[in-house]
Chain A
């Protein structure tokens, strides 16, 4: 499913639901009323958008640190010939939540999310041992803004 498969109502729905579901009884009915569509139509569209991969997920976005967990951004400078092998090694750690290839000498950037804050340094040590590469740990020191909104 791509952008071309979306009609006007899909787009309004995506834009609206990036801002958040109201926490009320029958929340989808409330949003459907705002958009002047039926609740069943909204749920059908939302399911289709999620199944089709236009939405990565729909649900609560939890603040990892406030749940008592650890969270950090880390990077590796992976030699190109070894890249795919290192991807497999790093992704095998369940603590790796996201991992992106980026254009830079530091060419692998991943987010670690752990049950406890202490597990961050243990996981980094584990990744260093498994890959033989130094991990550049870049935990946030200050959060100025988190608000992903991509209008369609």
Chain B
């Protein structure tokens, strides 16, 4: 491993290693599925029959594209086919990554509870990097102002109670790049690299 960590970091547990490197599970995708992934990862054609349009690109019928996408959604390879909003354009100018130092014995239960709180878009357990980075629970909050994010964070703080030793809110102040995921043998990223300043 070439990953730098602080020298005092304890050796990772067996569980942590397994979590970091789960066994490959490609959801049973075959070459045709992967062709569909490649053709749609940048977006779906905005036409009345998008499945047919994708099908023409990858050489299969629209009905087959639809059936395969349904199967991929069923198996969780596709989370959903949806609109991804630009937070800032919708007025969500305060985007805070809240990070919490939560008792390891309680984090799995509390993580699920925090994740269910209104306004939390993403919630994960991640490794600490002691002594500099003690935080092991991450929850993304989005508000129209920092005050709104802080009100939401206070709700999380109360829910975590005594199990939480410390927390921080890391606001994003600039999008440096946002190309989305480019997987499965696609061409090198062709999306624009943004360096827009953000309030």
Interface residues of A (CB under 8 A from B): 1-3, 14, 17-21, 23-29, 39, 43, 46-47, 49-50, 52-69, 71, 73, 87, 90-91, 94, 96-106, 108-110, 113, 115, 117, 121-122, 124-125, 128, 134-150, 152
Contacts and interface: CB of A to CB of B under 8 A. Distances in A.
B154 to A, nearest CB: 19
Contact of A141 (B16, B171, B181): B16
A143 to B, nearest CB: 6
Nearest to A21: B81
A54 B88 CA distance: 8
Contact of A67 (B29, B83, B115): B29
Contacts, number: 278
Interface of A is mostly: mixed
The list of the 10 closest CB pairs from A to B, nearest first, reads A134-B4, A145-B115, A125-B2, A20-B80, A144-B115, A17-B83, A99-B176, A101-B174, A68-B26, A142-B125
A62 B91 contact: no
A13 to B, nearest CB: 8
Contacts of B133: 106, 136
Given A23-B66, A58-B83, A141-B20, A113 B181 contact: yes
A130 B59 CA distance: 41
